[in-house]
Structure 1
Amino acid sequence: MPSAARRGYGLGSVATGAFGTVPGLLLLPYLTDRLGVAAGLAGLLVLLPKLWDVVLDPVAGRVSDRSTHPGGRRRPFLLRAGLALAVAFVLLFAGPTSPTGLAATWVVVLFLVCATAYSFFQVPYLAMPAEMTDDYHERTRLMTWRVAILALAILLSGGLSPLVRDTLGPTWGYRGVGLFVGVLIVLGTLGAWWGTRLAPARRAATAGGSLRDQLRIVAAERDFRTLLLVFVVQALGIGMMLAGVDYVARVLLGGSGASTVLFVCFVGPALLVTPLWQRVGEARGKRAGYVWGSLLLGGGALATLAAIPVGLAATAVTVGVVGVGYAACQMFPLAMLPDVAAADTARTGEDRAGTYTGVWTAGETAGLAVGPFLFAGILQVGGYVSSTDAAAVQPDTARLAIALGFTVVPAVLVALSLVVLRRSRLDPRASQG
């Protein structure tokens, strides 16, 4: 495959990375500390639109499977859904800030629109690698580009968004974030749509039957079930950590710009280590790389509990370890997913890659959505004080809740995922087309 096609495909991660990161990082603080919504209710408001995506993602996958558009089975969805997502995201933070009920309703409705558009972008986007190449290692190289660009997108969107918010102040800060991220989504959308125009796209026969039939076939695939379960459990932990970054920085570390520092340490290592993880995958296999990355992810999260009382520098180091593992836990499962889908096509002669990625994206969405909800629940139990006053003092129980929700609980979730992964017989090498 031409390297230009890999880069073009990877550019779609600018859109997915920006939207997948910023709401998880700032939407909960926006609700609790800008709109004054109670932490438990705020967590529910963030969760509900994402649950809609869980239902919609398999539908989006089946719709793209059946597409007969002359521009390709998947690519036209990127342009339409991506531009719609950008507009909706700008409006998400541009609504009223009072009264609280009206403001919260605005957020829920616009986030629901965002989630719908994102589903019709992300699902066809993830289905493309299974149709772009039959080569086992080529899919790893394709995902190396995707994860590297994803890391850069997450770094830019997640690292700069808090700075945009803080620089522009309470009135225009979040609106500035909406506009900034909206521009990133447009750039990623246009880059992926244009960059993949010459990419190979083999077209097997569309799988027949209803959506229910296709879901039943996908659910019966053991390798897929195992891979999905591991990924979703880890997404829960990652979602909790993303939701907790701003709280750890503001409440526990209290340093100016601490949120940006931690976020850069979480995501930044992927820019350096993703090519190294690619070599690990080629030498040892994708499953082995996934296990090693998971160990670093969980171990780094647990070490962060001890680092937080020491200060920002120590916390940045342990969060950096988390970031090294996070890169592997993004690259390897996404490189293994098209292996499974392509093996199914080779075995049956039918293409249901969109259905596979629809179910996959539904699982990922659920994990990343429930993660902040769990974190918000821990804050509620800990007695976190939601207030529009930035100087509000948090009780010790709330500070402990923030620390545990950011470190111990994610580490336990990763450990559970490792039990499934290490005991499985998942061997994607057998899935070469």
Structure 2
Amino acid sequence: MIPATPGRVPTGVRIGYAVGSFCTANFAAIPGLLLLIYMTNVLAVDPLLAGVVVFLPKAWDLIANTLIGQWSDRTVSRWGPRRPWMLAGTAVLPVSFAIMFIGPPLKGVPAAIFVGLVFLVAATGYALYEVPYKAMPAEMTHDYHERTALLQWRMVFIAIAIAMSGVLAPMLAGDTIEGYRLMGLVFAVILLVSMIGSFFGTANAPFTGQQDSEGSLRAQLAAARESKPFLWLLGLCSAQTLAAGVMLAGAPYFAAYTVGDPKATTTLFAALVGPMLITMPLWVWLARVLDKRGAMILSGLLFMSGAILAIASPLLGPIYAHLCIVVVGVGYAGLQLLQFSMLADVIAYDGQVSGKRRGGVFTGLWTAVESAVAAFGATIYGAVLSIGGFLESDPANPVVQPDSAVTAVLIGLTVIPALIILSGVLMTLKYDLSADKLAPAAT
């Protein structure tokens, strides 16, 4: 990495950095979308147990990500402090991802244990890559709005990756072991290529970060706790991530049991991702006009409105259901862009005030909480299904779900995420790191 003055990040670096989103978005989306239904409808795992299996490996991230963040902060190498760790993650994640969906000759509890253990290894590989990857934008530029523009490229790549996750992955997986095995192999290759691409694409990334990192892990965790902007941002974004995690886990069930067509998972994801590709420049503009906090509130309200409106889908039909998801997608686009832009602001603000390099710890904590919260969304949805009496099955032994289970599918995708996202909107009102507050610290 090379020193840089505050200002515009070169286009080549923006694109090189953004390529990594094919890894981060696909790994975040595919387990959240397919792992629960893979276990309940292919490996005959109880829905509550399946939800716990999705969550527990991500709980490990609360420890692993924090340590990786500290280690990357203290790393000195010719590749910079972050990129060696990204390369380590590249060696672990793609292989373990393919094995996770290999379709073992197991059912029920043994299958759940196998998937859980492999998911734990994959989550560790993801942490090795994701934590330093998220720390980089704050170190590329000091400019408040340049960070949003930098991440705009990333959001475009995320939208494409989510489209791949939501359209291609379910299409390949179908509802058979062979389909899931093929999907796992295809996306393992995609992960590998994107991770290698971002490693080389950021070789000439500007570096404006502090060279002096904090000493002990305890001291760095204390610094994160003492950062009011970081804690409020972590709280409000955790609510947003949890709501998205619940909806993601519920999407295949909503397609199959509410819309009435399992293949509708692909079109529902197109409705979600389409606004991300179209509205991203609008959200960049709104972040300037309303400031990032105001734009974040607006995006949360749109997400919540779409979820609430979707309650009427059984009465108004599939087209109405898709339109509701479009509204969710417009809000989700804003949330995705603003979360990472505001995190970069928090890291930069802390570095300017403290004179220390602590971005790795901030992103380590962030990524750990984000991963655990997103996975907990599947646990919540699995619990709702279990309460509703949802019956596990496998392709050789299909079952007819009771009416209570069909109702649970709908409530879990609409009412629950709407209430969660509302709490995030309320927390956003307490976030106060604006452009005016950040500017004096940079002088």
TM class, shorter-length: over 0.9
- Within 5 Å, which residues of 2 pair with 1:220-235? 220-235=226-241
CA contact (8 A) 1:218 1:356 kept: yes
Q: CA deviation at 1:173?
A: 0.6
* CA shift in 2, pair 1:256/1:31, >3 Å: closer
* CA shift in 2, pair 1:37/1:79, >3 Å: same
**Aligned counterpart in structure 1 of residue 190 of structure 2, from 184, 190, 201:** 184
**Alignment-derived partner of residue 80 in structure 1:** 88
**Alignment-derived partner of residue 93 in structure 1:** 101
Q: Distance in 1 between matches of 2:109 and 2:102?
A: 15
Give SS of 2:21's match. Answer: helix
Give SS of 2:176's match. Answer: helix
- Within 5 Å, which residues of 2 pair with 1:204-223? 204-223=210-229
Q: Does 1:118 align with 2:119?
A: no
Q: Distance in 2 between matches of 1:20 and 1:92?
A: 14
Q: CA deviation at 1:284?
A: 2.3
Q: CA deviation at 1:400?
A: 1.0
* CA shift in 2, pair 1:190/1:24, >3 Å: same
- Letter aligned with residue 5 of structure 1: V
Q: CA deviation at 1:199?
A: 1.2
- Within 5 Å, which residues of 2 pair with 1:8-407? 8-166=16-174, 170-255=176-261, 257-389=263-395, 391-407=398-414
Q: CA deviation at 1:254?
A: 1.8
Per-residue CA deviation, residues 288-327 of structure 1 (Å, 9 max, x unaligned), is 1111111101111111111343221110110011001001
Q: Distance in 2 between matches of 1:381 and 1:299?
A: 25
5+ residue gaps, structure 1, are: none
Greater Cα shift, 415-424 or 146-155: 415-424
Q: CA deviation at 1:103?
A: 2.3
Per-residue CA deviation, residues 32-58 of structure 1 (Å, 9 max, x unaligned), is 111101111111111110101122111
CA contact (8 A) 1:44 1:373 kept: yes
CA contact (8 A) 2:242 2:373 kept: yes
CA contact (8 A) 1:232 1:366 kept: no
Q: CA deviation at 1:80?
A: 2.2
TM-score by length of 2: 0.94
Per-residue CA deviation, residues 253-281 of structure 1 (Å, 9 max, x unaligned), is 22252111111111221011111111111
- Letter aligned with residue 121 of structure 1: Y
**Aligned counterpart in structure 1 of residue 424 of structure 2, from 396, 399, 417:** 417
- Letter aligned with residue 131 of structure 2: V
Q: Distance in 1 between matches of 2:438 and 2:69?
A: 21
TM-score by length of 1: 0.97
CA contact (8 A) 1:303 1:318 kept: yes
- Letter aligned with residue 411 of structure 2: L
- Letter aligned with residue 166 of structure 2: G
Cα RMSD over matched residues? 1.4
Q: Distance in 2 between matches of 1:100 and 1:41?
A: 9
Give SS of 2:67's match. Answer: helix
Q: Distance in 1 between matches of 2:437 and 2:331?
A: 25
CA contact (8 A) 2:166 2:265 kept: no
- Letter aligned with residue 20 of structure 1: A
Per-residue CA deviation, residues 384-431 of structure 1 (Å, 9 max, x unaligned), is 011114741111111111111100110011111111112443425422
* CA shift in 2, pair 1:256/1:100, >3 Å: closer
5+ residue gaps, structure 2, are: 1-8
